Amino acid sequence: MPISSACLPRWTGSALALIAFSLAHCIPLGTEALAKTPNEATARKPNILLILADDLRPDCVGALGNPHIKTPNLDRLVKQGVSFRNCFVMGSHCTAVCTPSRTMLMTGRNLFTIPLDEGRPDNKPSAQVDFQILRAAGYDTFYMGKSGNTYNPGCRTADRCEFFHETFSPKNKEICPDKVVQYLREPGRAEKPFYINFAISVPHDPLDPDPQDLALYKGDNAPPLPANEAASHADFAGFNLRDTNCRGFGGGTAGIVFSNAAEEKRRAALVSYYAVMTGYDKQVGRILDELDRTGLAQNTIVVFASDNGLSFWDHGLIHKQSLYESDNRVPLVVRGPGIPKGETRDAFVYLSDVLPTLLDLVSVPIPPTVETKSFAPAMNNSSWVYRKNIYMAYRREIRTFRDDRYKLLLYNVPYSGARYTQLFDLEADPLEQKNLAKEPSQAGRVQQMIESARKAGKELGEEENPRTGAQKVLMSKMRFWTTWDKRHELTPEDKQHFPEKYVIDNTPEEWGD
Ligand SMILES: [Ca+2]
């Protein structure tokens, strides 16, 4: 941030001390830091409310382009803030993609370098998390959200940590927002900046919608199934991972609802999902209303996002274990003082960029443990670009590399040793339905994108992993490139054999180096 002459400070002792401290700790000096003493800066810092949905599809907020879903309160946020159309989750090392996603978000670290210390004896995080950083900067911090498949050691570092173990249902849907509303009403709330991480498990299954919300989607108001829905994944030979393939999945809570579902049942499940979102939207609205009523909204940054997306028979898949747009692109909206209203941005960002962005917006130095990038400059600069492409990974099976037009997906198929490649022109084919990878005219592009993907993974720390013990075992599930070169193309025999083979998550596999 350049220092303008209008903002030059008087050179007080405290300012000089701050400069010395900043130099010693490699903290960039900006206008804010020079213009204010630490106490003054703290007193003026905006509050932060992070609202994180769970398994929300990128197309399921009304104001972001879905005329079928009723989310008036999230629509209000969209109209009052900046929406990012290209926000991606970097992927997952396990089928429970919520866990690494939330860990990346809380630590601002890449998928390949997140802490994996859920079971540490001292139960403390091994990387700095949002709560610790903001507490040190003078914030009162509050976690209200899911306890499973999140970064629990990080959540526990909040001044107040309230895990919610139950399903969001008509009976208990108000419990969590009630606690946030009560928190906002506590005496003195306006005197100290606060950070609320509101991250309940909605609209994650099991889906238990309120009948009143269900009624909104009856008859002609029922939403259409995704335009790229299919009964099974035509090209996914052998890729019947747990939760993933509609045809292959046979158990678990989601399987009861989704597996081999007739169209009528599929439509009913989607209606339930929409109705749960509408119920969730009402509860988010209560919190936003309380911010308005108390006047706190004027000095509060509100971020809304989801930890991952969700397939609803898109490509013949369910859940979120693919790297298609439905699974790894998420809604992201930012509202707050000085942030434009009703604007959109196309810049490529990762969900894990949110932490450095928030720190940037409230002038808290970004610690060196944070690896991701602040996109705060994009708030007031629609042409701001930091990344020209996105790299994502799902366990050892999938890698993708995407620019603003083309998307490459690489698959390593368990057991067969086969690999499979997809290339989509997102400009002509945004639903990723026409695979161009075998077209001779695209051969050069495919090869170049494979090389770029490999390089991107390396830059994110994928191939250099010094971990030991349990962490080494966990991250060994990320090995992809070590076998890529040795694998063969998917043959007709593979296709014939593997569609019926059900490969479960924890089956030992032979993935020699
Ligand atoms: Ca999730």
**Could you report the average pLDDT of every consecutive run of 10 residues in the chain (513 residues)?**
31 36 36 43 81 96 98 98 98 90 96 78 81 98 92 93 90 95 97 97 91 96 92 56 46 41 82 96 98 97 97 84 93 98 98 98 97 98 96 92 96 78 96 95 98 95 70 76 86 64 40 33
| Together in a domain, 130 and 240 | yes
Ligand 1 centroid – CA 66 distance (Å): 21
Locate 239 and state its tokens.
Answer: 């890729």
Largest alpha-carbon pair distance within the chain? 77
Tens of pLDDT, residue by residue over 229-278, are: 876 665 554 455 545 555 443 333 333 334 456 788 788 889 999 999 99
Last residue of a domain, one of 365, 390, 415: 390
The letter for the amino acid at 268 is: A
Locate 444 and state its tokens.
Answer: 């050069």
CA–CA gap between residue 313 and residue 266 (Å, rounded)? 8
Ligand 1 centroid – CA 307 distance (Å): 5
Ligand 1 centroid – CA 24 distance (Å): 40
| Together in a domain, 374 and 443 | no
CATH number at residue 379: 3.40.720.10
| Together in a domain, 191 and 139 | yes
Angle of CA points 275, 83, 334, to nearest 5°: 95
The letter for the amino acid at 215 is: A
Last residue of a domain, one of 337, 369, 390: 390
Asked if residue 329 belongs to a domain, the reply is yes
| Together in a domain, 104 and 249 | yes
Query: How confident is the prediction for the chain on average, in pLDDT?
Result: 83
Locate 203 and state its tokens.
Answer: 């609209």
Ligand 1 centroid – CA 441 distance (Å): 38
Q: What is the pTM of this model?
A: 0.87
CA–CA gap between residue 418 and residue 238 (Å, rounded)? 9
CA–CA gap between residue 486 and residue 467 (Å, rounded)? 25
Ligand 1 centroid – CA 318 distance (Å): 13
CA–CA gap between residue 59 and residue 278 (Å, rounded)? 14
How far lies 310's CA from each of 317, 326, 406, 504, in Å? 9, 6, 21, 20
Ligand 1 centroid – CA 327 distance (Å): 10
| Together in a domain, 451 and 421 | yes
Ligand 1 centroid – CA 478 distance (Å): 19
pLDDT of residue 25: 37
Ligand 1 centroid – CA 358 distance (Å): 21
Ligand 1 centroid – CA 325 distance (Å): 15
Angle of CA points 310, 312, 313, to nearest 5°: 130
Ligand 1 centroid – CA 80 distance (Å): 26
Locate 325 and state its tokens.
Answer: 């747009």
Asked if residue 195 belongs to a domain, the reply is yes
Asked if residue 512 belongs to a domain, the reply is no
Ligand 1 centroid – CA 464 distance (Å): 27
Ligand 1 centroid – CA 87 distance (Å): 15
Q: Domain tally for the chain?
A: 2
Instruction: Name every residue whose Cβ is closer than 8 Å to that of residue 382 and which is 6 or more positions away in sequence.
Output: 343, 345
Ligand 1 centroid – CA 332 distance (Å): 15
Ligand 1 centroid – CA 29 distance (Å): 37
Helix ranges restricted to H, 311-377: 325-328, 354-361
Ligand 1 centroid – CA 109 distance (Å): 18
| Together in a domain, 377 and 395 | no
Ligand 1 centroid – CA 199 distance (Å): 10
Ligand 1 centroid – CA 475 distance (Å): 20
Ligand 1 centroid – CA 220 distance (Å): 30
Ligand 1 centroid – CA 54 distance (Å): 4
Ligand 1 centroid – CA 310 distance (Å): 8
Instruction: Name every residue whose Cβ is closer than 8 Å to that of residue 103 and which is 6 or more positions away in sequence.
Output: 109, 114, 115, 150, 151, 154
- Find the domain containing 483 and state its range: 391-500
pLDDT of residue 51: 98
| Together in a domain, 82 and 219 | yes
pLDDT of residue 233: 65
Asked if residue 506 belongs to a domain, the reply is no
| Together in a domain, 433 and 355 | no
Last residue of a domain, one of 390, 407, 422: 390
| Together in a domain, 395 and 385 | no
Ligand 1 centroid – CA 91 distance (Å): 11
| Together in a domain, 48 and 67 | yes
Ligand 1 centroid – CA 470 distance (Å): 23
pLDDT of residue 260: 55
pLDDT of residue 477: 76
Hey, is 313 helix, strand or coil? coil
Ligand 1 centroid – CA 294 distance (Å): 31
Do 64 and 78 contact (CB within 8 A), yes or no? yes
Locate 199 and state its tokens.
Answer: 């991250």
Instruction: Name every residue whose Cβ is closer than 8 Å to that of residue 377 and which is 6 or more positions away in sequence.
Output: 384
Ligand 1 centroid – CA 93 distance (Å): 14
Ligand 1 centroid – CA 407 distance (Å): 23
DSSP string for residues in 152-211: HHHHTTSSEEEEE-S---TTTTTHHHHHHHHHHHSTTTTTS-EEEEEE---SPSSP---H
Do 124 and 179 contact (CB within 8 A), yes or no? no
Ligand 1 centroid – CA 55 distance (Å): 4
Contacts of 484-487 with C-beta under 8 Å, sequence gap 24+, read 484/410, 484/412, 484/419, 486/417, 487/412, 487/417, 487/418, 487/419
CATH number at residue 396: 3.30.1120.10
| Together in a domain, 383 and 401 | no
Ligand 1 centroid – CA 51 distance (Å): 13
Ligand 1 centroid – CA 382 distance (Å): 29
Ligand 1 centroid – CA 448 distance (Å): 32
| Together in a domain, 91 and 184 | yes
